Amino acid sequence: MTAPIGNNENAERGLLPYPVIIAATKGDPEAMAIVVKHYESYIASLSMRKLYDERGNVYWGIDEDIRDRLRSRLMRAVLSFEV
């Protein structure tokens, strides 16, 4: 017997609602903000780099330039998406 694992209520918690996607592709700023917020943690993880302080110590941090580039690339991709 196979049964679904987890809650049915949370089955789609990782998905953006379709109306939000459509509105974002049409240029709605509120919908675009929702899309960017949805991917913010993924963008942050892609932006992690080894950084060095003035004494040469290594630590992990977010490269702001890369994060801004990824965020703007996401927005351009959403706007150029054809439904």
Please tell me the pTM assigned to this model: 0.75
Q: Which residues pair with 56 in a beta bridge?
A: none
Give the pLDDT confidence of 28-73 residue by residue, as tens digits. 999 999 999 999 999 999 999 998 999 999 999 999 999 999 999 9
Token pair, residue 59, equals: 């630590």
**Contact call for residues 75 and 36 (beta carbons, < 8 A):** yes
Show me where the domains of the chain are located.
16-78
Distances (CA, A) of 81 to 22, 23, 56: 9, 11, 44
